[in-house]
Amino acid sequence: MASTVLLGITGCIAAYKAAEIVRGLQKAGLRVKVVMTEHATHFVDPLTFRSLTHEPVAVGLFDDPSDPIHHISLADEADAFLIAPCTANVIAKIAHGIADDLLTTTALACTAPLLIAPAMNVHMYEASATQDNLSLLKSRGVAFVDADEGYLACGYTGKGRLAAVDEIIAATLTLLGESRSGNNDNDACSLRDLTGLSVLVTAGPTQEPIDAVRFLSNYSSGKMGYALAGAACARGASVTLVSGPVSLTPPSGVDVVPVQTGMEMLEACQKFFSRADIAVFSAAVADARPAVAFERKLKKGVAEDAAALSEIKLVPNPDILATLAANKDPRQTVVGFAAETDDLLDNARRKLQCKHADVIVANLVGAGKAFGKDTNQATLVSATEEHILPDMSKVQLAHRIFDFVLQIRN
């Protein structure tokens, strides 16, 4: 049976994004029920969510005569309670145990994991009272998808904007620890089956400087690597995430090592590889880097600089996967990625052997596939098996990869 996410929506201009959240959770195979504050109904009509979920939308404490204790029945149904967007007011109420409407009463009664995605004006977000309330809730184990920075509906610029919908969905799936196949099998993975193991994950692109303002890079968003790190952490592992430059919020509980270049990523991985039981190299490391990185900006109008820009000499970057896997310990399981535009399985099998990996996750890229997307279609290749997976969210795929790794290790 599908897990149930109770989605709480509060009175905020970002309430309209809750419709996208509902759709994303449903695509992941989850059942979604919605509870709204009275103020939220002024931004989006409850009919919108009733149409999307095919479930009654709860608003008032006494709006369902057939269920006189509605906040208890809602709380009991939830496998996770997500509040997105969540205003400063509702955060304050939950932090201090105030239950004066259906949403906050349900929150107080709910024993399922609680995930909050704040959204508010920058000054309200930065206010000491709000920060104290956030800290208090975090100390109690409440999970957060932190607010983004940017232009706000109120006209200000700063932190307080609702996090990206895909980040909220990924955080919800990680909280649930869901591992689903594309044919609607809804068996949840054991949340603690990586307990006691150390996992190293690389993510994102690398940036190889040309001069002070230019660099070579690629289209990698880092979403797959961040999904892998979050999934490993949710399953009980101690996780180190070596990340190239991305615009993603790191999963809670993960140790992040930020790097920029391929050489920096290799150095960081060499530091942590020996202690890793499982190493997953999902980063898209640039194959080459400029032989010379100029410390100043090269100017097109200067003949010497223009010549340097027109003929950039490249040298190979280290192959991090092959370098480290060649010396792996028998207790270690190494996973590499093969992003290909053609001959997918042949290239994956070749990479499995020549790079000394235990598993290759092979996927087609280009033409709008994989890079930057929230979903991915991949084939898992080992020395003895090949599992072709359907298109699924990157969080789901991350759990399928760890399922496959554990099968090999056992």
Question: Active-site positions?
Answer: 154
Query: Under DSSP, is residue 233 helix (H, G, I), strand (E, B) or coil?
Result: helix
Do the beta carbons of residue 130 and residue 88 sit within 8 Å? yes
Residue written as token pair 């920096």: 264
Q: Is 264 exposed, middle or buried (0-12, 13-18, 19+ CB in 10 A)?
A: middle
Task: Give the pairing type, strands 359-364 and 333-340.
Answer: parallel
Helices (H), 140-258: 165-176, 223-234
Residue 7 structure tokens: 């989605």
Residue written as token pair 């592992």: 237
Indicate the DSSP class of residue 163.
P
Whole-angstrom Cα distance, residue 311 to residue 114? 55
Q: Would you give the distance in Å from CA 330 to the centre of its chain?
A: 30
Closest Cα to residue 377, out of 359, 366, 364?
Answer: 364
Close Cβ partners of 36 (under 8 Å, ≥ 6 residues apart): 8, 9, 10, 44, 46, 49, 57, 58, 59, 103
Cα first-last separation, the chain:
27
| Bridge partners of residue 8, in order along the sequence | 35, 83
Whole-angstrom Cα distance, residue 222 to residue 115? 22
Name residue 271's amino acid.
Answer: K
Query: Under DSSP, is residue 403 helix (H, G, I), strand (E, B) or coil?
Result: helix
Between the alpha carbon of residue 410 and those of residues 193, 229, 325, 331, 407, the distances in Å are 12, 21, 20, 11, 5
Residue 114 structure tokens: 């609680």
Quickly list DSSP for 105-132: HHHHH--S-EEEEE---HHHHHSHHHHH
Length of the chain: 410
Task: Give the pairing type, strands 80-86 and 333-340.
Answer: unpaired
